[in-house]
Each structure stands twice: as C-alpha cells, then as structure tokens.
Amino acid sequence: MTSLNIRAALTGARKLVIKVGTRLLCGSKGDLNLKRMKGLVEDVAGLWKEGRDVVLVSSGAIGAGVGRLGLLGKPRTLPEKQAAAAVGQGILMQNYESFFAPFGITVAQVLLTRDDIKNRGRYLNARHTLYSLLRYRALPIVNENDTVAVEEIRFGDNDTLAALVSCLIDADLLVLLTDQDGLYSADPHENRDAELIPEVWEITPEIEAVAGGRGSHLATGGMETKLQAARITMQAGIPMVIAGGMQRGNLAAILQGKRVGTLFVPCEETMKARKRWIAFGSPVEGKIRIDHGALEAILKKGKSLLPGGVTGVVGFFEAGNVVSLVDPCGREIARGISNYSSDEVKLIMGKKSTEIKMILGYHDYDEVVHRDNLTIIANGSTLKAGRLKGYAGK
C-alpha cells in the first residue's frame, strides 16, 4: 500500500468526524473568532452537501466562557472550569446554529462524559442517538459535558473524545484541525529545518519524541493528546489526519485525496480485524434466511440487509448479536451484527423499512444488518465488503 493509494482511499470516506480545537476558535482572551468559525462551517457544509455524514467535535466552551465572564485566564479549579463551560457552551452552539442555518443544516448538541462510552448500555444509547441524528441529516456537534464531568468520568481533552466518537459511530475518517499544519519532525516555531511528516505508519519512540509539548493557555491538548487519539484510531482501523485549520480548504483537499497534513495510517490488519471479529471471533447466535434479491444486493452490490429480504429466522438472538445469513438453499453466505432481536426480525421480515415503526412501535434502524457490520463468507474466506474499499486487498 503506497502513500498515494491510502490518500486516494480517503476520497471514499462517507462518515467523518472533524474536531476543531480551542486554539482555532478562541483568541487569547477567550473571544470567539467568528470569522474563522464561519469559514470552518462553510468548509464542513461543503462536505455535508456532497452527501457525507459529518460529526463535529468542537472545543471552545471553556474558552468562550472565560471570554464572556471576563476572566483573566483559564480557571484552575474544576468547578470554575465547569462554570466557564456552562456559559461558553451556549455561546458556541448559538453561533454554530446561526452559521449552519443558511446551508439548511440543522445542528444538534451532544454532550458526553467518559461514562457514556465505558458503560455498554449507555454506549449503545449514545451510538443510537448519533445514528438517528445522521439519519435525519442533522449535524451533531459534540463536546465533553464539562459542566457535570468530574475527574473520574472526564475525557479531559477533545482529541481523545473525538477518537472515541469516531469508534462509536464507526467513522471512515477523523480529522483533527489545529493551528499547526500537521506533525513536524521538530518544533517548527523553534527549528527552521522542521519538516512536515505526511504519513505516520507506526507510532515509534521517535514520533513520540517530536510530539512532546502542550497547547496554548486556554487549550487543553497539544500534539501529545493527538498522538493519544491516533493510537485509538489506528487500533480501531480508522484513518486520522492532523491538519491546519487556520486556512480554508484543507478539509476539502483531504477528501480529494491530496497530501495535506499528517495522516496516521491504520495497519491493514486492524482494518480487517473488526470484520474478522464478526466472521470468526464472535459466537453466531442465530440464522437469518434471505431471498434471492437480498442475496444479490449483498454479494454483488455490497448492500445492507433490509427486512424485505428476510424470509425466515432460526434460533434466538438479541440486537447486537452476530448472526449468520443463509441463502435460499440454506448455505451460509455472510455473518453480521443484527440490529434487531430474533423476535423483532420475525415481526418485520418481508416488510418495508417504513413499516418497522408501525409494527414494532419504534424504528431504530432501516436495516436488519448494516453493510458496515457485515462480512461475506465465501469458500471459508472473507471477502471485502463495506467501507473504504480502496484499502482492502492491496
């Protein structure tokens, strides 16, 4: 796999998480840089209009609160930070709301704590909520719930939060926008020979060494927390780019496959690990029988399994379990994570997705098995299906 291949593969990213840091949004006194915010919104709206799903992770609540309260600097104690965040979060959202509105984009505030990701029930709940928002074509704007998060349940920085949100929604790409153009071989402020590192294939001690140092006095992270985020995304098989957010157009350039910023390349093995887990790592709890139409849609077009294509259910399984998909002759053709329990699938099989709500009284997903959660089994080997096809099989 070459650098060019991997960059080109980013053009196919459908689900994006974009994180914007305090240093981009706030001046040194905490005043919001509205011009930059507006430009960022225009860039994000451009990607959204191409049909991509975007989740924005935005810092700046504490900074904006500091500005509005007229404080001299970032508060030291947690309750003071929480108070500043409570003031600033509203200001942040108010501005996002008014900047996104002219593009016809509805924004949604999502505030998370670490507990929401750690606890399985709440993890699923947060995931469902974000998925529902994306289905409505709303644009979730995520931040840490600074006002309630005490030390033990804090993410502490939004780089880590953004990486975990990327895992939560199974993103195709995470972009961290910051005041530097990417990761440099040395501190570019101090060393004129510092060079931008275009791709990182592995986080080595050398990479750790060049990422030392912290952020500005209002911001939390620095390159260190960005590396921490990269460790999470590389492990999860999600590409991550650190890029400059001071100037316009970088987001579009990254999605056009241009060599902008520093790309942290997930190794091919981890990309496939999740699919492998679905195929072989998890017990198969039941079977779903599908018709010829669904068989063709899944095998030839890489589509999801909809209720209309289901003809039968064998065994007992819960939503979230791995099930086997069998063709009309009873042969296993794929495995995937079912969005509905066996009882629910029995009720909705053969029906249209639009009828799910009427039948079940709720409608969490259109698909019984989403294509991102589907691994095709053929002659005992796994074939690629789903996202970022450009990576597979290189």
Binding interface with ligand GLU (CB under 6 A)? 21-22, 59-63, 85, 143-144, 146, 157-158, 219-221
Can you read off the two tokens belonging to residue 135? 């289905």
Nearest residue (CB) to ligand GLU, 113 versus 373: 113
Largest CA distance in the chain: 72
Provide the strand spans (E) within the chain.
15-20, 53-58, 107-112, 139-144, 173-178, 199-200, 240-244, 262-264, 284-290, 310-315, 322-326, 332-337, 374-378, 381-383
Which residue type does 27 have? G
Nearest residue (CB) to ligand GLU, 95 versus 339: 95
Question: Is residue 320 classed exposed, middle or buried when 0-12, 13-18 and 19+ CB atoms within 10 A define those classes?
Answer: middle
**Residue 153 beta carbon to ligand GLU: minimum distance, rounded to whole angstroms:** 13
Nearest residue (CB) to ligand GLU, 180 versus 220: 220
How far apart are alpha carbons 99 and 40 in whole angstroms? 10
Give the 3-state secondary structure of residue 172. coil
How many CB atoms are closer than 10 A to CB 224? 16
Nearest residue (CB) to ligand GLU, 214 versus 357: 214
**Residue 28 beta carbon to ligand GLU: minimum distance, rounded to whole angstroms:** 15
Q: Is there a contact between 394 and 4 (Cβ–Cβ < 8 Å)?
A: no
φ, ψ dihedrals at 73, nearest 5°: -165, -175
Nearest residue (CB) to ligand GLU, 218 versus 310: 218
220 in a labelled binding site: yes
223 in a labelled binding site: yes
**Residue 102 beta carbon to ligand GLU: minimum distance, rounded to whole angstroms:** 24
Can you read off the two tokens belonging to residue 37? 């915010």
Nearest residue (CB) to ligand GLU, 43 versus 146: 146
User: Nearest Cα to 44, choosing from 140, 160, 148, 157?
Assistant: 140
Q: Is there a contact between 244 and 184 (Cβ–Cβ < 8 Å)?
A: no
**Residue 64 beta carbon to ligand GLU: minimum distance, rounded to whole angstroms:** 8
Nearest residue (CB) to ligand GLU, 32 versus 54: 32
59 in a labelled binding site: yes
19 in a labelled binding site: yes
How far apart are alpha carbons 89 and 379 in whole angstroms? 53
158 in a labelled binding site: yes
Residues in the chain: 394
179 in a labelled binding site: yes
**Residue 20 beta carbon to ligand GLU: minimum distance, rounded to whole angstroms:** 10
Nearest residue (CB) to ligand GLU, 160 versus 382: 160
End-to-end CA distance of the chain: 6
Give the 3-state secondary structure of residue 246. coil
**Residue 312 beta carbon to ligand GLU: minimum distance, rounded to whole angstroms:** 49
2 in a labelled binding site: no
Nearest residue (CB) to ligand GLU, 61 versus 377: 61
**Residue 40 beta carbon to ligand GLU: minimum distance, rounded to whole angstroms:** 15
Pairing of strands 53-58, 15-20: parallel
| Interacting residues of 134 by C-beta distance below 8 A, sequence separation 6+ | 15, 53, 55, 140, 169
**Residue 58 beta carbon to ligand GLU: minimum distance, rounded to whole angstroms:** 7
**Residue 22 beta carbon to ligand GLU: minimum distance, rounded to whole angstroms:** 4
Q: Is there a contact between 352 and 308 (Cβ–Cβ < 8 Å)?
A: yes
Please give the C-alpha separations between residue 198 and each of 166, 185, 352, in angstroms, as whole numbers: 21, 10, 46
Phi/psi-derived region of residue 249, left when phi > 0, alpha when psi is between -120 and 50, beta in every other case: left
How far apart are alpha carbons 391 and 394 in whole angstroms? 6
**Which residues belong to the annotated binding site?**
19, 59, 146, 158, 178-179, 220-226
**Which residues belong to the annotated binding site for ATP?**
19, 178-179, 220-226
**Which residues belong to the annotated binding site for substrate?**
59, 146, 158
